[in-house]
């Protein structure tokens, strides 16, 4: 043989021996791909989770601000004074843009719309005129206002827009509705009287219609578009006339009535986000303390709303951090399991390298070169996918590079650890595990101590995420789950040995073999068990928190709408209940009268002293209870209200603690300007129908009140029970009876009721509780925790099966030679997996249920349940979900086993070196 041929023969094996990392990655593509997928998923979670949270939080903030009343969301600077002549009043409008620039930063950049107004309130003016409705009858309180932007927001129907000339009467414009009620037209004159003896005169210059009644320019002027028409004797008409700055100053000087100058600034909610929320709140608070004009005040509630939203955001941030920590810990556990599985699959290769003299450093370099080709790219791809999620984030989170380093180094590190001692004898994997070392016991005790200390610290300090996430406190639930896994791992062999002994006496070998293998550590090891418990506890924790919040919101909805629906209005006829009961779908009706700030006196006599004010609610006790029962709402109607009957003495009443402290045994309440004596029959923190934010209330039984034929109690609400109610017809009937009531009071026809009837259903109110604040972020946390925890738990079961698939293959091959069927093989796997999945479900479920109780107010769930304390609530569906997870886990294990058996060819396992496989 020639030298060239010999050299060629020598070179060919050397090329095979020197196969590069690319070829090795291709040879072990399954293991490398699995680790890469886990790294990609973890990177997506670490990147997309915070981005989605900020996106939902920003959307919730903007929606909350947009829904706020203008007196809360706008920054309004006001001052009240007599104008310094007509020119001085006109000059006040020039300060509109200047004041906007003096607002504390960052408010000037956020101001969108702005208005200036000079106003005399209707309460300060009484108007008369030549038209019949204006020269007699009820008092007409007509205010005047001059506001920027109104001329562009109306369409003139008649006449011209006000343009007051010095020395002449002020010119005013009226809406079509105001002109119709007062029978006024262009050219008619009005005489205004202030609180003194001075008089002013104005002339109607035009009639207008708003182009859009919902335009924010009309927020302060509801009576300019639609006047208040009295429905009860003694109440006045209330309206507002529109004028110009000169006209407002003319009337103010003529009647010696000060003008209220205001500069209103509306922040653009689209420019707001949670990143500047604290700065905006601080700036608004500073603006409230600043005097921008002489004797001026600043009115706004935006800082309070911002603090409330920030509280919700902090609470949901804590919850998201806990859920994300559980998911990330589960993913990291799966990454470690995948890496350990890779090292196990390549044990023979690594042992051969070590036997040929390879150092641990060389082994690490060999496997590291393979990991570098795949894992950083997979993590980078996950980060890129995560950045596609809506939301914003500052740069690359530090956790992503750390994840890339972990996924790249985990296989080399575990391989070096496994090859510290070179051995050429394969160990049996199915023997009872050895006694744990002192080092391992110390580590387990440290984990237990860290979990207990973390729970105590969390309950004392809380999980404050304002200054950043505390990694230790956030990981306490994970530590608690891992500690539970360690305890379960130490206790589990005892019942398994008992089952093994009992199974040895039973007929058949499957249960005995399954219990024996499970008791000897296959597949129950700390890795799969810990991952399973962490994943299950994360999912159950999310579900329990979700049901806790849902239960508290149900309670809040019950207290606000204690039936299927509330029908509200201004004043209904006494027989309205019968007409409403005739509407299709209505099963029961109960009349209610309620009004806030009613007088509470020590008695009904002339010398009684005032004890304060309270919201008074008058309900027909039996009818109220009947409606509540038919609606299926979970509230109790006190027996004192249900059984009360008409008599000569005071009626029983249910009062709040604040009222009870003032009235003692009894007092008298003002109901439609008539005093009704009552005694305190029961003290309650809340009452259905009053919501959760009323601190002072008195509830009286309608059926026990004395009857007065001339002045009966007029209902202004109705509680309704019924399904598939014809809502449109119900509202029409409500408007009809209200109109009839107003006509009876005024003695003239009325085109439409003063306040149209409105229907608030329990379902709509309950749904509204989920559409405010940071609820979208809360829902995201629930979805991530529930779905993610379940998916990772199923994956952990699959890893447990794959980790011992070859050992199980040898067992099945031997048993098949003795007649074991395929079905029996599956049953054997089920017997092995039941302890693992069952213990994980029970332990993880127990940890998930206990976490809301252990963390307590740390989670801040009360921020999402208005006025109701969120107490841990376990829904039976959660228990059913845990049981379903056991079934799904077993099915997943069977599916993985099926797939592995098909690829492995069990009939050949015994001929492939059974102890080296």
Helical residues (DSSP H) of 606-682, grouped into ranges: 621-631, 639-642, 657-663
10 Å CB burial of residue 653 (0-12, 13-18, 19+) is buried
Q: Which of 853, 847, 809 is nearest to 828 (CA)?
A: 809
Element (H, E) at 827: helix 822-855
Amino acid 17: pLDDT = 45
Amino acid 248: pLDDT = 92
Question: What's the rounded Cα separation, in Å, for the pair 592 and 609?
Answer: 27
Q: Angle, to 10 degrees, between the axis of helix 302-345 and the axis of helix 476-491?
A: 40
* pLDDT, tens only, 232-284: 677 889 999 999 999 999 999 999 999 999 999 999 999 998 889 999 999 99
What are the residues facing 208 on neighbouring strands? 156, 175
Q: Which of 423, 413, 417 is nearest to 367 (CA)?
A: 413
Question: What's the rounded Cα separation, in Å, for the pair 391 and 251?
Answer: 54
Helical residues (DSSP H) of 464-587, grouped into ranges: 471-474, 476-491, 493-505, 510-519, 526-560, 576-581
Residue 263 CB coordination number (10 Å): 26
Question: What's the rounded Cα separation, in Å, for the pair 808 and 820?
Answer: 13
Identify whether 106 is preceded by a cis peptide bond (ω within 30 of 0).
yes
First to last CA, the chain: 40
Question: What's the rounded Cα separation, in Å, for the pair 242 and 145?
Answer: 5
Question: What's the rounded Cα separation, in Å, for the pair 233 and 314?
Answer: 51
Amino acid 910: pLDDT = 52
Alpha carbon of residue 812 to chain centroid:
52
Amino acid 16: pLDDT = 45
On whether the CB atoms of residues 567 and 730 are closer than 8 A, the answer is yes
Question: What's the rounded Cα separation, in Å, for the pair 381 and 911?
Answer: 42
Q: What is the residue whose two structure tokens read 């293998």? A: 517
Q: What is the residue whose two structure tokens read 């920054």? A: 75
Domain ranges of the chain: 25-52+311-554+772-911, 75-299, 561-766
Identify the segments of the chain with pLDDT beneath 70.
Answer: 1-19, 231-232, 394-395, 422-435, 463-469, 500, 503-526, 606, 709-710, 773, 803-814, 816-822, 825, 897-917
Question: What's the rounded Cα separation, in Å, for the pair 725 and 729?
Answer: 9
Question: What's the rounded Cα separation, in Å, for the pair 839 and 868?
Answer: 36
- For 576-627, give the DSSP string: HHHHHHTSTTEEEEEEEEEEEEEEEES-SSTTPPEEEEEEEEEE-HHHHHHH
Amino acid 508: pLDDT = 65
Question: What's the rounded Cα separation, in Å, for the pair 897 and 809?
Answer: 9
Residue 482 token pair = 């891992």
Q: Which of 628, 637, 617, 638 is nearest to 681 (CA)?
A: 638
Q: Which of 736, 746, 749 is nearest to 573 (CA)?
A: 736
What Cα–Cα distance (Å) separates residue 657 from each residue in 202, 848, 849? 52, 37, 34
Alpha carbon of residue 709 to chain centroid:
50
What are the residues facing 128 on neighbouring strands? 191
What are the residues facing 529 on neighbouring strands? none
Residue 293 token pair = 């004009």
Residue 65 token pair = 């601000």
φ, ψ at 75 (rounded to 5°): -100, 115
Helical residues (DSSP H) of 68-102, grouped into ranges: 70-73, 85-92, 95-102
Residue 840 token pair = 């994980």
- Find all residues with CB under 8 Å of 369, minimum gap 6, and list them: 21
- DSSP label of 652: E
């Amino acid at each position: 043989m020639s030298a060239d041929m010999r050299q060629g023969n020598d070179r060919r094996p050397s090329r095979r021996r020197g196969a590069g990392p690319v070829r090795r990655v291709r040879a072990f593509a399954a293991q490398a791909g699995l680790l890469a997928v886990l790294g990609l998923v973890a990177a997506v979670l670490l990147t997309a989770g915070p981005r989605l949270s900020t996106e939902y939080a920003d959307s919730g903030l903007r929606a909350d601000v947009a829904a706020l009343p203008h007196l809360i969301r706008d920054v309004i600077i006001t001052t009240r004074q007599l104008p310094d002549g007509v020119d001085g009043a006109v000059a006040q409008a020039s300060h509109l843009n200047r004041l906007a620039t003096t607002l504390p930063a960052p408010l000037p950049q956020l101001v969108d719309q702005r208005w200036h107004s000079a106003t005399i309130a209707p309460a300060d003016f009484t108007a008369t005129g030549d038209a019949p409705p204006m020269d007699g009858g009820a008092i007409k309180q007509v205010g005047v206002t001059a506001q920027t932007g109104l001329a562009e927001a109306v369409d003139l129907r008649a006449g011209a827009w006000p343009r007051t000339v010095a020395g002449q009467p002020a010119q005013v414009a009226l809406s079509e509705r105001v002109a119709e009620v007062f029978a006024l037209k262009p050219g008619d004159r009005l005489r205004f009287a202030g609180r003194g003896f001075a008089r002013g005169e104005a002339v109607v210059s035009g009639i207008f219609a708003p182009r859009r009644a919902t335009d924010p320019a009309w927020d302060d002027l509801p009576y300019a578009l639609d006047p208040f028409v009295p429905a009860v004797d003694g109440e006045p008409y209330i309206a507002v006339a529109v004028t110009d700055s000169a006209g407002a100053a003319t009337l103010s000087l003529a009647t010696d009535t000060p003008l209220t100058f205001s500069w209103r600034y509306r922040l653009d909610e689209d420019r707001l986000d949670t990143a500047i929320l604290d700065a905006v709140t601080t700036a608004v608070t500073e603006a409230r303390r600043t005097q921008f004009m002489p004797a001026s005040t600043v009115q706004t509630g935006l800082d309070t709303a911002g603090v409330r939203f920030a509280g919700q955001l902090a609470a949901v941030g804590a919850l998201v951090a806990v859920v994300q920590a559980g998911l990330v810990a589960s993913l990291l556990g799966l990454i470690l399991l995948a890496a350990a599985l890779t090292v196990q699959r390549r044990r023979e290769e690594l042992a051969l390298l070590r036997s040929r003299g390879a150092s641990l450093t060389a082994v690490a370099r060999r496997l590291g070169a393979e990991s570098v080709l795949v894992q950083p790219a997979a993590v980078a791809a996950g980060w890129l996918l995560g950045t596609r999620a809506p939301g914003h984030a500052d740069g690359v989170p530090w956790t992503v590079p750390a994840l890339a380093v972990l996924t790249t180094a985990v296989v080399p590190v575990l391989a070096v650890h496994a090859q510290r001692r070179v051995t050429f004898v394969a160990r049996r994997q199915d023997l009872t595990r050895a006694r744990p070392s002192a080092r391992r016991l110390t580590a387990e005790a440290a984990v237990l101590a860290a979990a207990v200390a973390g729970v105590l610290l969390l309950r004392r300090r809380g999980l404050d995420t304002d200054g950043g996430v505390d990694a230790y406190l956030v990981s306490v639930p994970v530590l608690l789950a891992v500690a539970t896994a360690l305890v379960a791992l130490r206790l589990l062999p005892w019942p398994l040995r008992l089952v093994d002994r009992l199974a040895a006496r039973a007929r058949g070998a499957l249960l005995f073999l399954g219990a024996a293998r499970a008791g000897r550590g296959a597949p129950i090891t700390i890795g799969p068990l810990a991952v399973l418990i962490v994943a299950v506890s994360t999912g159950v924790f999310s579900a329990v928190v979700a049901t806790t919040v849902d239960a508290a919101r149900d309670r809040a909805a019950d207290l606000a709408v204690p039936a299927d629906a509330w029908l509200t209005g201004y004043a209904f006829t006494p027989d309205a209940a019968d007409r409403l009961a005739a509407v299709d779908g209505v099963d029961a009706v109960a009349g209610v009268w309620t009004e806030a700030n009613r007088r509470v006196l020590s008695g009904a006599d002339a010398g009684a002293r005032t004890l304060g004010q309270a919201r008074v609610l008058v309900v027909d006790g039996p009818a109220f209870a009947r409606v509540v029962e038919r609606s299926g709402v979970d509230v109790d109607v006190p027996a004192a209200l249900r059984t009360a009957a008409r008599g000569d003495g005071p009626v029983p009443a249910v009062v709040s603690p604040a009222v009870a402290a003032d009235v003692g045994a009894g007092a008298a309440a003002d109901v439609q300007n008539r005093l009704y004596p009552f005694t305190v029959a029961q003290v309650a923190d809340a009452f259905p129908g009053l919501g959760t934010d009323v601190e002072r209330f008195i509830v009286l039984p309608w059926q026990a009140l004395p009857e007065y034929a001339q002045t009966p109690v007029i209902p202004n609400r109705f509680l309704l029970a019924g399904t598939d109610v014809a809502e449109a017809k119900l509202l029409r009937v409500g408007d009809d009876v209200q109109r009839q009531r107003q006509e009876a009071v005024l003695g003239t026809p009325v085109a439409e009721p003063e306040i149209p009837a409105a229907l608030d259903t329990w379902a709509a109110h309950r749904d509204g509780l989920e559409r405010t604040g940071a609820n979208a972020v809360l829902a995201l946390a629930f979805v991530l925790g529930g779905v993610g925890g379940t998916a990772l738990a199923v994956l952990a079961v699959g890893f447990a099966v794959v980790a011992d698939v070859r050992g199980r293959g040898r067992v099945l091959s031997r048993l098949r030679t003795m007649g074991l069927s395929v079905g029996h093989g599956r049953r054997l796997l089920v017997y092995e997996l039941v302890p693992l999945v069952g213990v994980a479900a029970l332990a993880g479920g127990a940890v998930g249920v206990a976490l809301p109780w252990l963390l307590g107010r740390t989670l801040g769930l009360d921020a999402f349940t208005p006025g109701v304390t969120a107490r841990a609530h376990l829904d039976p569906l959660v228990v059913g979900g845990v049981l379903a997870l056991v079934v799904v886990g077993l099915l997943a294990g069977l599916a993985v086993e099926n797939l592995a058996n098909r690829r492995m060819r069990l009939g050949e396992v015994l001929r492939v070196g059974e102890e080296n496989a």
